[in-house]
Structure 1
Amino acid sequence: MSIKLGPNRYGKAETRLVHVVRDGPVHHIKDINVSTSLSGDMESAHLTGDNAAVLPTDTQKNTAYAFARKHGVGQIEEFALLLARHFVGSQPTIHHARVEIQEYAWSRGGPHSFVREGGEVRTCVVHHDRDGGDSVVSGLTDLVVLNSTGSEFHGYIVDEYTTLPPTTDRILATAVTARWRHTGETASYGKSYEQVRQCLLEAFADTHSLSLQQTLYAMGERALGACPEICEIRLAMPNKHHFLVDLSPFGLDNDNEVYFAADRPYGLIEGSVLRGDAPGAGFAWE
């Protein structure tokens, strides 16, 4: 029986980094979580314990801190590319670097006072390969949205286990996770992020939904139509079910007013929307 080492990588997960820019009395803050992962000529580390090809994960952590001081953070995609290119370019044994960053938003409460926002988290995953170049995937998680009407669900398969009644008026709520792939380096990742986010929100609000799948496609289609710098968007949208409460035992009716918000189990709708000529469509983004 033949046994061999398969694909492998290693790195430093979730390096918490806060960068403060002190512009006189007015300060600016970037709060991020950085995960780095490297691969290349690492066989000896696995097979014999020889670490000569290994850049320690502690060094990867320190590099993130040092680069924040030397270069600032700016747009998370640009910071991730800077790190990824450094690891591959500075070490001959490292052929591929993956850098993932989450950014946590703070709103200004004063010149040097901030309030942590409770909304979505901005994300990016960057790959840099010695031979294959760069790929940049931006995104967000936990964008919680709700339509109190304008959603239906009927005409589905009914079998002996189906108990769900059809409806022509329901609450539609979800927490959107979206990731979109750039066709190349984008002039302004921040502007692109805001535009995609706005498209997602507008399409969710504007679509009279016959299914969450239909809404997912409308959101992706709106983003691609408005943003030529992206070629594919992937969405994961859990259906945050809201069930009407039966108030008849109390002599009360319930005309779509009082709901129980269930947290689990939930339907999970996932899908991609892409341009027909999107390069590398369907490749793994992880």
Structure 2
Amino acid sequence: MFARPLQGASTATIERQPASSLNAPHQYTISDYGYGKDCVKVLHVKRNGPVHSIREFEVGTHLKLYSQKDYFKGDNSDIVATDSQKNTVYLLAKKHGIEDPERFALLLANHFLNKYSHVAEAHVHVEEYPWERITQEDDGDNYASISERQRHNHAFIFTPIAQRYCDVLVRRADPKVTVISGIKGLRVLKTTQSSFVNFVNDEFRSLPDQYDRLFSTVVDCCWEYSDINDVKFCQTWNKVKNIIIRNFAGDTNVGVSSVSVQNTLYLSEKEVLDVIPQISVISMTLPNKHYFNFDTKPFQSVVPGDNNEVFIPVDKPHGTIYAQLSRKDLKSHL
């Protein structure tokens, strides 16, 4: 899925239309269009003597041309084939290497605009596959910390805790380069210090006040940069992920109270904007993955007493909470 700019496109870009659309052969106008290659999988191995590093990406490239004659007239003379776009992914990876999703996406997007003067817009989406080096475990009872374990030179393990992705949008008519980074699939759960009380009480309500409940969600979060000149993308991505986890979980021993999913979401977004000035807007979606207490009251002869140990996971239906937080001085079209 290609993420669109969180801030909205510039007015100049929105108003600008290819000349061919003004001469459409009928009374209709193509209001949006484009084409590209999706799900291009690439693995890059960087060999530094005996120590190797890998990055595996899934890349999508979409182009928007000035002309619409391919639609109106079936004239393909301006089309950069999607197969050529696929080859470009591999050739630029070979020529320049792969550092991180954002820089590789910027490299591709700028290439398409610099190489083809009839391309009005390039949009590149990159998803990273989460590989980490295999670490040597202690054989005895005294386990070393992760930082002290020996990391393998050339063997890796897949660690799908969360997926990192980015979108880069470059328009020839707009000097601003849009860079969106994101996290998805980060599933978290805590067994206490979550409540939900004092909500609307009317004839449609059946849910009682929840003073201590299980809280689980799957984080989907993306943010847009106002300035990318000095951004360390890998460091920033990890910082945002850690902020989200810290606001959800709190201190390792005492935790942190969550009075609602909404409040936990807002506190995470606020801290991101507080500590990372290059981020201008952040959006989060938190579905409430429910775990309902199994009612043991009818089975007192089997298991007497209350139950606070056995829960029923219920994926559907689920509540969904979302919000986008922007800096007040942001000139946007939200």
Query: Structure 2 length as normaliser, TM-score?
Result: 0.81
Matched, 1:48 2:100: no
Aligned counterparts of 1:43 and 1:159: Cα–Cα separation in 2 = 55
Tell me how far apart the structure 2 counterparts of residues 13 and 51 of structure 1 sit (CA, whole Å).
Answer: 20
Query: What is the rounded CA distance, in whole Å, between the counterparts of 2:61 and 2:332 in structure 1?
Result: 23
1:60 shift after superposition: 0.6
Residue 115 of structure 1 and its aligned partner are, at CA, apart by 0.6
Confirm whether residue 221 of structure 1 aligns to residue 273 of structure 2: no
* Structure 2 residue 182 is the aligned partner of structure 1 residue 126: no
- The one-letter amino acid of 2:124's match is V
Match of 1:164 among 207, 212, 237: 207
Q: Does 1:70 align with 2:95?
A: yes
Q: State the partner residue of 2:41.
A: 16
The Cα of 1:248 is off from its aligned counterpart by 2.2
- Give the Cα separation in 2 of the matches to 1:37 and 1:269: 30
User: 1:266 aligns to what SS in structure 2?
Assistant: strand
- Counterpart CA distance in 2 for 1:3 and 1:183 is 36
The one-letter code of the counterpart of 1:48 is K
> What does residue 268 of structure 1 align with?
320
Give the Cα separation in 1 of the matches to 2:205 and 2:332.
40
Of residues 131, 143, 165 in structure 1, which corresponds to 2:186? 143
Q: Distance in 2 between matches of 1:90 and 1:280?
A: 31
Residues in 2 aligned to 1:4 and 1:274: alpha-carbon distance in whole angstroms: 33
Q: 1:256 aligns with which of 308, 313, 326?
A: 308
Paired with 1:53 and 1:92, the residues of 2 have a C-alpha distance of: 10
Counterpart of 1:235 (choices 284, 287, 291) is 284
1:203 is aligned to 247
1:84-120 deviation digits (Å, cap 9, x = unpaired): 0111111111011110101011111222111100210
Q: Secondary structure at the match of 2:316?
A: coil
Instruction: Tell whether 2:113 aligns with 1:88.
Output: yes
* SS of alignment partner, residue 265 of structure 1: strand
Q: Identity over aligned residues, as a percent?
A: 34
- Structure 2 segments unaligned to the other structure (5+ residues): 1-25, 135-151, 251-255
Conservation of the 8 A alpha-carbon contact between 1:245 and 1:258: yes
Residue 57, structure 1, aligned to residue 57, structure 2: no
| 1:214-272 Cα deviation digits (max 9, x unpaired) | 11101101111111111111001110111000122332333422111111111111111
- Higher relative contact order structure (alpha carbons within 8 Å, sequence separation ≥ 6): 2
User: Deviations for 1:165-203, whole angstroms, at most 9, x for unmatched residues?
Assistant: 211111111010110111111431111111111111111
Structure 1: how far apart are the matches of 2:201 and 2:78?
58
Normalising by structure 1, report the TM-score.
0.94
Size of the aligned set, in residue pairs, is: 282
**Maintained 8 Å contact 2:294/2:307:** no
Per the TM alignment, residue 130 of structure 1 is displaced from its structure 2 partner at its CA by 0.7
Where in structure 1 are there 5+ consecutive unaligned residues? none
* Amino acid across the alignment from 1:176: V
Conservation of the 8 A alpha-carbon contact between 1:244 and 1:254 = no
Whose Rg is larger? Answer: 2
Contact persistence 1:245–1:254 (CA under 8 A): no
Dislocated runs of 4+, deviation >4 Å: none
- State which drifts further: 7-16 or 197-206: 197-206
Match of 1:184 in 2: 227
AA of the residue aligned to 1:53? D
